[in-house]
């Protein structure tokens, strides 16, 4: 059966459904609210060379970076991955993103038992709420990787279908919440097994040759669509410079520069001019930077094109070594994955907005507003760690207002339902509301941020990792900027203390933290005021 548009569509959906089903298995069997409720995980399917062929619609910052994990597994175990093996890793300098994101990679074999062949890989990545390190939640305001948690280079978690329980014990012993880790790791393993099984069924049903042919054809198809899309962007050189608030250690703003050169059907993305790597933990591993580039290009494509490695073929990405967007080991990267990835996305869209003013929306909130809480639960009499990212404004679009109170760009997680949070942790939610009027005015208004206020029922240690507290999300084409975010501590529930964007604090029972997330930029000059009232 030759590759034709119908067979290609069928295989695209089959590969994607494998990744989706892996995700369902992971979510339903996981222990932590972070994976079960917020769905901070991602699954994808790869060809034998380690090219991503299909992914589920999970978390963009994970997905673009997962091929690096598969490549790392292949480099560490060249030709040594057998049926039933699973490689586990989180080392940001060997295929990971930041330490809480633990990735598992497994080979898929097909063919008769005598001559089975490597036919591809499946991979699952989950954000584990605590993997050790200097502060609960393993997203500290660190200065080096060692402070951020347990570093796992690519090692074998399973050989020939047999799990190495010693490795699991080692990881769990280094976490403040070992039972939760054990449950989540088991869920991730189950998800890998589901992926292997479904892929093996595909190969059995359609044969190795045909399935592999369609894998290659899907990569070519995405490349073709990407080239057509780039062809539609006016040739030229588009540059943008923006700044991150700080690196959590000093007040110095941190420049991120990008120059996009479009010529014909190719795009050159150059980060020269970006800050050198920082002492603080906002350095973004190269895989995260590539992830942001893949996401932005994927946003330009029409819906049908699968987001896979083929989309990257027409791109040349230059992230200078030793810079914020491609640090050298062993720099801290805890915040690079969550915060810097968002600003990289902002500058890429900013540059493209010059070329495609009628397509690109204004800047969204540009942060994940990470809040990590750890302490001792007096009711359950054991330690707990809670992690969440908080929604904000989405940038105004060229033809409509931005959406309020939504996760944007590199994060695609849900919010934790109040009931789930109050059930699982000694926390009480005092307020959760839209932050009215925080979106920028314009022909179309930017979306509003939110206010989320958490009261502590027992002493705890809190890390806040947020951006856009000093520099607001810009409006485009005459649109006004959104309001910057604010983090406030209410001591004893009343006394207001202004917190920095990146802060580590100890709180007492009765204290409240109020996170007020940024609104987004407006699009176009505000014209007829009366038509735009909400």
Question: Is residue 401 within 8 Å of residue 447, measured between CB atoms?
Answer: yes
Instruction: Label residue 158 by pLDDT band (50, 70, 90).
Output: very high
- Please provide the average confidence, as pLDDT, over all residues in the chain: 94
Position 494 pLDDT exceeds 80: yes
Provide the percentage of residues in the chain whose pLDDT is more than 90: 90
Instruction: Label residue 530 by pLDDT band (50, 70, 90).
Output: very low
Beta-carbon-side half-sphere exposure of residue 69 (alpha carbons within 13 Å): 39
Position 336 pLDDT exceeds 60: yes
pLDDT at 531: 52
Give one DSSP letter per residue of 257-320, joined into a string.
Answer: EEEEEEETTEEEEE-TTSPBPPSSS----HHHHHHHHHHHHHHHS-TTS--SGGGGTTEEEE--
In angstroms, the CA 476 to CA 525 distance is: 9
3-state secondary structure at position 98: coil
Position 262 pLDDT exceeds 90: yes
Q: What pLDDT digit, counting tens, does each position of 77-123 carry?
A: 998 899 999 999 999 999 999 999 999 999 999 987 778 899 999 99
Q: What pLDDT digit, counting tens, does each position of 392-428 carry?
A: 999 999 999 999 999 999 888 889 999 999 999 999 9
pLDDT at 411: 85
Instruction: Label residue 1 by pLDDT band (50, 70, 90).
Output: low
Instruction: Label residue 226 by pLDDT band (50, 70, 90).
Output: very high
Tell me the mean pLDDT in the region 340-361.
Answer: 97
Question: 147: closest CA among 334, 18, 342?
Answer: 334
pLDDT at 199: 97
Tell me the mean pLDDT in the region 357-365.
Answer: 97
Tell me the mean pLDDT in the region 342-350.
Answer: 97
Assign 3-class secondary structure to 207-258: CHHHHHHHHHHHHHHHHHHHHHHHHCCCCEEEEEEEEECCCCCCCCCEEEEE
Lowest-confidence pick of 10-14, 264-268, 410-414: 410-414
Position 481 pLDDT exceeds 80: yes
Tell me the mean pLDDT in the region 136-148.
Answer: 96
Angle, vertex CA 503, rays to CA 463 and CA 277, nearest 5: 100
Q: What pLDDT digit, counting tens, does each position of 285-324 carry?
A: 999 999 999 999 999 997 777 889 999 999 999 999 999 9
Regarding predicted confidence, which is higher, 473 or 1?
473
Backbone angles phi, psi at 462, to 5 degrees: -120, 130
């Amino acid at each position: 059966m030759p590759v034709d548009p119908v067979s290609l569509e069928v295989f695209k959906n089959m590969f994607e459904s494998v990744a989706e089903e892996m995700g369902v298995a992971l979510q339903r069997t996981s222990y932590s609210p972070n994976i079960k409720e917020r769905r901070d995980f991602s699954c994808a399917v790869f060809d034998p060379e380690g090219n991503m062929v299909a992914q589920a619609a999970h978390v963009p910052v994970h997905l673009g970076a997962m091929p690096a994990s598969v490549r790392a597994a292949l480099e560490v175990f060249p030709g040594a991955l057998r049926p039933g093996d699973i490689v586990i890793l989180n080392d940001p300098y060997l295929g990971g993103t930041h330490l809480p994101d633990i990735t598992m990679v497994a080979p898929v074999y097909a063919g008769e038992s005598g001559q089975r062949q490597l036919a591809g890989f499946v991979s699952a990545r989950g954000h584990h709420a605590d993997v050790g390190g200097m502060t609960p939640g393993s997203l500290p305001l660190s200065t080096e990787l060692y402070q951020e948690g347990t570093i796992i280079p690519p090692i074998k978690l399973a050989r020939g279908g047999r799990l190495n329980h010693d490795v699991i014990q080692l990881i769990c012993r280094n976490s403040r919440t070992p039972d939760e880790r054990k449950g989540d790791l088991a869920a991730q393993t189950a998800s890998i097994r589901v992926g292997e099984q479904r892929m093996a069924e595909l190969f059995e049903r359609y044969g190795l040759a045909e399935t592999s042919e369609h894998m290659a054809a899907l990569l070519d198809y995405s490349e073709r669509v990407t080239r057509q899309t780039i062809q539609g962007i006016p040739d030229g050189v588009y540059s943008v410079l923006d700044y991150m608030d700080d690196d959590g250690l000093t007040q110095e703003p941190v420049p991120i520069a990008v120059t996009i050169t479009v010529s014909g059907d190719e795009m050159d993305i150059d980060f020269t001019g970006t800050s050198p790597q920082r002492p603080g933990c906002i350095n973004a591993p190269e895989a995260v930077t590539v992830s942001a580039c893949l996401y932005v290009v994927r946003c330009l494509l029409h819906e049908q094109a699968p987001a896979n490695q083929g989309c990257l073929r027409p791109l040349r990405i230059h992230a200078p070594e030793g810079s914020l967007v491609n640090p050298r080991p062993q720099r801290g990267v805890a915040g690079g994955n969550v915060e810097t990835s968002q600003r990289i996305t902002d500058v890429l869209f900013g540059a493209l907005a010059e070329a495609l003013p009628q397509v690109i929306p204004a800047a969204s909130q540009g942060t994940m507003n990470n809040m990590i809480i750890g302490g001792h639960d007096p009711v359950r009499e054991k330690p707990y760690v809670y992690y969440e990212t908080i929604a904000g404004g989405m940038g105004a679009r060229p033809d409509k207002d931005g959406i309020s109170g939504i996760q944007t760009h590199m994060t695609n997680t849900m919010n934790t339902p109040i009931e789930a949070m109050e059930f699982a942790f000694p926390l009480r939610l005092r307020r959760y509301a839209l932050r009215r009027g925080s979106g920028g005015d314009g022909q179309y208004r930017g979306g509003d941020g939110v206010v989320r206020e958490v009261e502590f029922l027992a002493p705890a240690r809190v890390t806040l990792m947020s951006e856009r507290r000093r520099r607001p999300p810009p409006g485009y084409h005459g649109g006004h900027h959104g309001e910057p975010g604010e983090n406030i501590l209410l001591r004893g529930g009343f006394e207001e203390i202004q917190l920095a964007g990146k802060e580590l604090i100890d709180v007492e029972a009765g204290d409240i933290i109020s996170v007020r997330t940024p609104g987004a930029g407006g699009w176009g000059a505000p014209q007829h005021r009366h038509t735009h009232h909400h």
